[in-house]
Amino acid sequence: MEPKNLKWWQKTVVYQIYPRSYKDSTGNGIGDLRGIISKLEYLKELGVETIWFSPFFASPQQDHGYDVKDFRLIDPVYGSMNDFDKLLKNMHEREMKIVLDLVLNHTSVEHPWFIESASNRDNPKRDWYIWRDGQKSNGKKPPNNWRSMTGGSAWKYYENTDQWVYFHFLPFQPDLNYRNPNVKEEMFNTMRFWLDKGVDGFRLDILHSIYEDEKLRNNPFSFSIYSDKNSALFFQQHKYDLNLPETFDFCLELRKLINEYEPERFLVGEVFGGIEQLRDYYGPENNSLNEVFLFEFTSNALKFNINKIRKIISRIEKSIPYPYTPTYVYGNHDRDRYLSLLKGNIQKAKLLVTMQLTLRGVPYIYYGEEIGMENVKFKLKSSEDPIGQKFAKFPYPQISNLIGFSLTRDRCRTPMQWSLEPHAGFSSNKETEPWLKVSNNSKLVNVEIQKENPASLLNIYKKLLKIRKEFNSLHEGELEFIKLEDLFKKVLAYRRVYGNQEILIYLNFANKDLTFRISKSNPELIFSSYFNNKESDIFINDRYIKLSAFEAVIFK
């Protein structure tokens, strides 16, 4: 087979940093850009190349940066434009790529555009947002039945102008009106502003919500409280406010815009839907978003159900085949930490990471996953997260299970656990409490300790990332499932093939030893998730191997 020469963004590994929680260099309890710069060597050593940063633009921080008041300024909480330039330079010097998180969909209510827009009906910025009269003769009912993504009506009433404004997420995040060409032009120029500075790409926040129906038709009822497949949430099918044809056209335009730049840049979209539906976001000729997040692995599959996992991978391979680039996402700043979904079972985590880093596509690692950080419990009422506050009165474990993501996202956003120092080494100031409490497992789970232990999760990540770089077939190769006898339904096996290079991956999902026949005689063992297991522990003879409970192995 001819070499494929995939682009950098098809082969890379992305690491997400939530800047507020990574490293505090000033001692005020909040992470910042200088803190991140001081950890670039750690990231380089870990072996990740592309870093996506949750927003650090000027913002009142009501949604911790996803409520922007100036898209071209760095929020002083995180540093200055000088710090940003330094970050970019330092990353590029280390051959790392920098991806910014762009919230095209909405602004903060404190953005000067919105302040103007809300001031009176004749303001030139009025049409930058979506204002409508209410229903009923007195206008005291929202313009239609649309529900926001966080529940409740998607409209907020403003008495001064006696109109309602539309928001898809939270009331302090009004949606921009992309039917107004000035809005589009301004936001495209914002993208150019950062691209001209040299950023390598954007993660695009709730992009499926960019356009909504011009006639504001009511959404139909749905029987589901949550379903990715038909965009249903809170008993409503989001037919007229999400995934509109105009949004797909918009994505094509975004790709054209980044294509003006050399070297090549990239876009990853946060969009929701079933895998088959999401495929359309890649464009008819792979000419739209370079990637979209596939969130399947943040929920059901991580119950460690091999059948579901096999099905999802098959669906991904079928719907997003080469040259499209699937993504493998286990967590982010909105979702439960995956190790908590595995009830803290490190052997299971090691197996899943082996899988994530050897499947075809781009893996996304959320900060702290590499050391096995887990959810931390927080009360909704005292939650920093505005969603937690909104749901303070609800029975949250139940709701959270139903909709598949966590209601106070504080629990997956706690400070990175670096060391045995106070505040797990996150903040240099002993006296100031970090903005979120540090997990009480930080004495056992931290970078300093795991660095020294060759069998630690951190060292497993490092080893796998190294192997992934070393063998082309792991980032460029085809993926083929290997059929095993029926007896071994608990083993997931596949090969990655590139030219003459063939890599075999066997994952034992059973909680017991299994002995079975492999597809090739006497391959060379290059990795076991059991640090101490050698070839002599695994090979029964040249064709039969024995894997321990939850063991993952790679052969060449």
**DSSP structure string for 488-547:** GTTEEEEEEEETTEEEEEEEE-SSS-EEEE-SSSSPPEEEESSTT--HHHHBSSSSEEEE
Residue 298 Cβ, how far from ligand NOJ at the closest point, in Å? 12
Q: Sort 111 into a burial class: Cβ within 10 Å, 0-12 / 13-18 / 19+.
A: buried
CA gap 369, 101 in Å, rounded:
20
Active-site hit among 83, 205, 241, 410:
205
205 binds ligand NOJ (CB under 6 A): yes
List 169, 338, 494, 527, residue binding ligand NOJ (CB under 6 A): 169
Amino acid in the structure at residue 426? F
Strand order in the sheet with 232-233: 226-227, 232-233, 236-237
Size of the site for ligand NOJ (CB under 6 A): 9
Sorted by sequence, the CB contacts under 8 Å of residue 440 that are 6+ apart come out as: 376
Site string for ligand NOJ, 100-119 (x = CB under 6 A): ---x----------------
210 binds ligand NOJ (CB under 6 A): no
List 99, 183, 206, 538, residue binding ligand NOJ (CB under 6 A): 206
Q: Which two tokens stand for residue 444?
A: 């056992």
Assign 423 to helix, strand or coil: helix
Assign 294 to helix, strand or coil: coil
Amino acid in the structure at residue 324? Y
Site string for ligand NOJ, 307-346 (x = CB under 6 A): --------------------------xx------------
List 56, 66, 167, 194, residue binding ligand NOJ (CB under 6 A): 66
> Which one, 87 or 387, has the nearer CB to ligand NOJ?
387
Residue 102 Cβ, how far from ligand NOJ at the closest point, in Å? 10
CA gap 256, 512 in Å, rounded:
52
Residue 468 Cβ, how far from ligand NOJ at the closest point, in Å? 26
| Angstrom distances, CA of residue 238 to CA of 205, 228, 233, 235 | 17, 11, 7, 9
CA gap 448, 202 in Å, rounded:
31
Q: Is 270 a catalytic residue?
A: yes
> Which one, 169 or 281, has the nearer CB to ligand NOJ?
169
> Which one, 366 or 498, has the nearer CB to ligand NOJ?
366
> Which one, 167 or 498, has the nearer CB to ligand NOJ?
167
Q: 403 with 226: CB under 8 angstroms? A: yes
Residue 209 Cβ, how far from ligand NOJ at the closest point, in Å? 9
CA gap 285, 282 in Å, rounded:
8
Ranked by CB distance to ligand NOJ, the top (closest) residue is 66
Within residues 369-408, the interface with ligand NOJ by CB under 6 A covers none
> Which one, 157 or 405, has the nearer CB to ligand NOJ?
405
Angle among Cα 195, 196, 199 to the nearest 5 degrees reads 40
208 binds ligand NOJ (CB under 6 A): no
Active-site hit among 270, 291, 336, 551:
270
Within residues 254-273, the interface with ligand NOJ by CB under 6 A covers 270
Residue 105 Cβ, how far from ligand NOJ at the closest point, in Å? 7
CA gap 71, 12 in Å, rounded:
27
**DSSP structure string for 78-116:** T--HHHHHHHHHHHHHTT-EEEEEE--SB--TTSHHHHH
> Which one, 54 or 508, has the nearer CB to ligand NOJ?
54
Q: 528 with 538: CB under 8 angstroms? A: yes
Within residues 425-444, the interface with ligand NOJ by CB under 6 A covers none
Residue 103 Cβ, how far from ligand NOJ at the closest point, in Å? 5
Assign 479 to helix, strand or coil: strand
275 binds ligand NOJ (CB under 6 A): no
E-strand ranges in 180-248 read 201-204, 226-227, 232-233, 236-237
Residue 244 Cβ, how far from ligand NOJ at the closest point, in Å? 18
Assign 248 to helix, strand or coil: helix
Residue 293 Cβ, how far from ligand NOJ at the closest point, in Å? 9
> Which one, 304 or 391, has the nearer CB to ligand NOJ?
391
List 63, 175, 241, 410, residue binding ligand NOJ (CB under 6 A): 63
Q: 470 with 455: CB under 8 angstroms? A: no
> Which one, 63 or 241, has the nearer CB to ligand NOJ?
63
CA gap 57, 78 in Å, rounded:
8
> Which one, 205 or 228, has the nearer CB to ligand NOJ?
205
Residue 120 Cβ, how far from ligand NOJ at the closest point, in Å? 27
Q: What does the binding site for ligand NOJ look like in residue numbers (CB under 6 A)? A: 63, 66, 103, 169, 205-206, 270, 333-334
Residues with catalytic roles: 205, 270
